[in-house]
Amino acid sequence: MRVFRHRTGGDLLSRAEPWLLATEAENNLILGIAAAHHDVAKTKQGTCYWATIEKGGAIVGCAFRTPPHHLSLTVMPSEAVVLLAREVHGVYGQHISGVAGPVQEASQFVKSWQALTGDVGHVHIELRVHKLTEVQVPSEKPEGTLRQSIPEEIDLITDWLTGFVSETGMPRQPQELAQRMQASGGVYVWDDGSPRCMVAAARETPRGACINAVYTPTVNRGRGYASAAVAALSQELLLQGKHFCCLYTDVANPTTNSIYRKVGFIPIRDEVHIDFVRPATG
């Protein structure tokens, strides 16, 4: 078994895309990020890491990192995780912020990483990946419609993304994120005379798309806006030719998990984001 590094996201896809597409929804993150970084070998914060783990010429797993973010893993055998941890340590030393991926693989990586560096892993957030192939329209749809956000709403979207980042604990810069999302045309709002909540269409894969940044300000909650917005955007993406939509929820939030299941999202995998912390000495 060996780890093969690739220079760019496009190079990784050239080698691994057929393997990743065999479970496309589960691999939506690496497929989407690699496509977005097709010609990217470095970010402003450092060299990217694109890797396949192979045995006998066959791929058994993939990993990537776009600094400063965590290393992300796909499903892979336990021995591949141990090998990967040694290889990543040889590349970065101790300088990675954490690991993300399927629960078993991420947890195994933490054990291997701690043995190599002494760093301790702390769970940052547990996520559940969902997949939708057919929309179930909410029975109690609120007044209003879904529409794309307009440039003049950039301050509102920035405020809402600030709330989203604060509540989810995801490591993002709201202002930069708002500008990038607005520029891509992927931000939508539910409008019943004025914007009530937001939702975004994010990463695309050949047959799917990911929905994220679902946020309703506190004053507008409990009225069905988010459910209606997610259902409407999902339906629009399916009508555009996508075969499925993906969405991530916080495992610890039973409300969102229940809401999205009613819209048609089915859980397909649990993942975890784990931060690395250097133990205090002395």
Q: What is the CATH number of the domain that holds 191?
A: 3.40.630.30
Classify residue 124: in a domain, yes or no: no
Q: Is residue 123 part of a domain?
A: no
Distance CA 65, CA 182 (A): 25
The answer to pTM > 0.95 is: no
- 16: in domain: yes
**Closest alpha carbon to 132 in 211, 215, 228, 214:** 211
Whether 62 and 152 map to the same domain: the answer is no
Q: What is the largest CA-CA distance in the chain?
A: 61
Q: What is the mean pLDDT of residues 12-32?
A: 97
In a domain, 253, yes or no: yes
- pLDDT of 172 > 90? The answer is no
274 within a domain of the structure (yes/no): no
Residue 271 CA to chain centroid, in angstroms? 10
180, pLDDT greater than 60: yes
Instruction: Using the 3D structure, point to which of 52, 86, 118 is the last residue of a domain.
Output: 118
Pairing label, strands 244-250, 120-132? antiparallel
CB 210 within 8 A of CB 244: no
Distance in angstroms (rounded) separating the CA atoms of residues 155 and 102: 35
Structure confidence at residue 58 (pLDDT): 97
| Distance of alpha carbon 234 from alpha carbon 107, whole angstroms | 32
What is residue 149's predicted lDDT score, i.e. its pLDDT? Answer: 94
Q: Quick check: 170 pLDDT over 80?
A: no
The reply to whether 149 and 103 lie within a common domain is no
Which residues form the domain of 157? 131-269
State pLDDT tens for residues 58-117.
Answer: 999 999 999 988 999 999 999 999 999 999 999 988 789 999 999 999 999 999 999 999
Position 141 scores a pLDDT of: 87
Spatial separation of the C-alpha atoms in residues 113 and 92, rounded to whole Å? 12
Residues 137 and 213 both lie in one domain? yes
My answer on whether 63 and 159 are in the same domain is no
DSSP 210-241: EEEEEE--GGGTTSSHHHHHHHHHHHHHHHTT
